[in-house]
Structure 1
């Protein structure tokens, strides 16, 4: 058995070490690979070059290093009969939940306003709003969205969620489908997007959606950059329809130096780090799935590429 590793930054050695420790029977190779493509059984990748994976005729599974799979789904030459597996593991989930909770609390406690006051050397209290008077709305009720909502429950926010199909979560008012979106938005004061990028969710965070939120709402995007119409966000912030935004994902990454987000006082940004895959913990999910396949069992967390998740 052999596995090819291709990550977006220099973590190949960390993955190799972790895989060797947990599954020494598995041979590992880091990209670029100049050996016999027919020897590669599995690929663990993030943003491989388009057409790269079709070179390996005996691939049995493709593992995404991260939770998102649009970097694979966008490859027109992706081998059609090879299952694609998204990363689902406790460390990745915990990282995203930490980021979401931190971001929600930052908006709830007016941290953008206090940062502006610090720059202006203003010492002034802002009247606080009780958590139970605010609704946090989650777009996307998969593993990551559900875990974040569960942890937010401890702060006494009103919690709501929206998904493509019906869901039921204790303590969360759930909406679904196009018919439920407007009602979900109308009551949401802090909106979190954790949707996968699909044809239906592209450009979802736009002028029309922002107008359906209560005036002064905040937006947190940790889904995908292609879901946000960036010009519409700036317009909504400048008009006061939105009070602030926390953004971890962007249409172009790295963000261009001349992008208006860099200087906008109502935008808090991070460089796509909301949840980072740590090889030492994530390797267990990869190994468990390879062992399942080698034992003739079905893989877990296989993506439906037609749906995009």
Structure 2
């Protein structure tokens, strides 16, 4: 994998990403291909340049998806996105491309951790309900003084103990919460997790946590993991479910059933099986559901550029890159 300092082609809607990469890699030629629209369209000239000349590409996933099988020189492409599901669907895992594809596995975790902790605090202190009262010009102090819990009294279960799950756990641990994690296998180093469970022990996490946060990727093993009556295990503590991972971990009707049966107290949803969430979805009007438009981990220029720079240095040194896409595993 060793390489000389090759030019880097950057094609992304992330603001000033090419400029940030050029600043971090001052000895490297950085070629900025301009995104023409929100559909990640490049000019014919830029497409021709990319497909005929790019060895290294840092780009949004739709660009990589288009270039993967048509570029003649491409050796390594890093996506600015954390998820690669749409790319997995067009690649035969038994005949993967010769191109090394990596994803931006770091750079989103801190923002997502703040999103999760923010909604935990907002839920515990009933900030959203108070906003409704303000709009109605109602003064109801008594209902907000009852049953107030300290963060140090709460237990958070994180489904997915990878980098993002670890960053969420670390932030919540820093404010006193007890943190449980779900992983594919037992970890000798628990990091911020007080308890680590494997997938066959999922029910134990659902039964014992005040909040359940999903950050699992979309794979054949995780699709529908919480669908059916799996969330009935939550009825002991009635946690709030927070989803910042992938929407297909639970179908809408299973989630609505869990809320209506009071197995869970409610849900904070940033991801959905179908996006945008259809206007006729019952989730929109459920009073116990908070909906946000897939924005818990927005691309932030500096972290994305830093993650790429770190991988670039490993690439030219011939070292194993971080977050190589594993076609057979689906992430």
TM-score when normalising by structure 1: 0.87
**Which of 27, 31, 45 lines up with 2:31 in the alignment?**
27
Q: Note if contact 1:83-1:302 (Cα within 8 Å) is conserved in structure 2.
A: yes
Q: In structure 2, do the counterparts of structure 1 residues 246 and 186 end up closer, same or farther at CA, with 3 Å as the change threshold?
A: same
Contact 2:113–2:168 (Cα < 8 Å) also in 1: yes
Cα distance change, pair 251–3 in 1 and its aligned pair in 2 (3 A): farther
1:38–1:56 Cα contact (<8 Å) kept: yes
Residue equivalent to 2:232: 211
> Larger RCO: Structure 1 or Structure 2 (Cα < 8 Å, ≥ 6 residues apart)?
2
Indicate the residue corresponding to 2:85 in structure 1.
Answer: 70
1:242 and 1:52, CA in 2 relative to 1: closer, same or farther beyond 3 A?
same
- Indicate conservation of the 8 Å contact 2:61/2:81, yes or no: no
In structure 2, list runs of 5 or more residues that go unmatched: 1-5, 35-40
Aligned residue pair count: 305
Q: How far apart are residue 101 of structure 1 and its match?
A: 1.1
Give secondary structure in 2 for the equivalent of 1:201: coil
1:283, distance to aligned residue in structure 2 (A): 0.8
- Cα distance between partner residues in 2 of 1:237 and 1:99: 22
Residues 169 and 192 of structure 2 are in contact (CA less than 8 Å); yes or no, is this contact kept in structure 1? no
> Does 94-103 or 150-159 show the bigger shift?
150-159
Query: How far does the alpha carbon of each residue in 1:23-69 deviate from its partner, in whole angstroms, 9 at most, with x for none?
Result: 34233324523324231112323341755421113221121212222
Question: 3-state SS of the aligned residue for 1:137?
Answer: strand
Match of 2:120 among 81, 99, 104: 104
The one-character-per-residue Cα deviations of 1:184-224 (angstroms, maximum 9, x if unpaired) are 22111210001111110111222322111135211000001
> How far 1:137 sits from its partner (Å)?
0.4
Q: 1:47 to 1:92 in 2, by over 3 A?
A: same
Q: TM-score, normalised by structure 2?
A: 0.82
Aligned to 1:165: 185
Alignment gaps of 5+ in structure 1: none
Distance 1:180 1:221 in 2: 19
In structure 2, distance between residues paired with 1:301 and 1:220: 25
Matched residues in 1 for 2:207 and 2:169: separation? Answer: 19
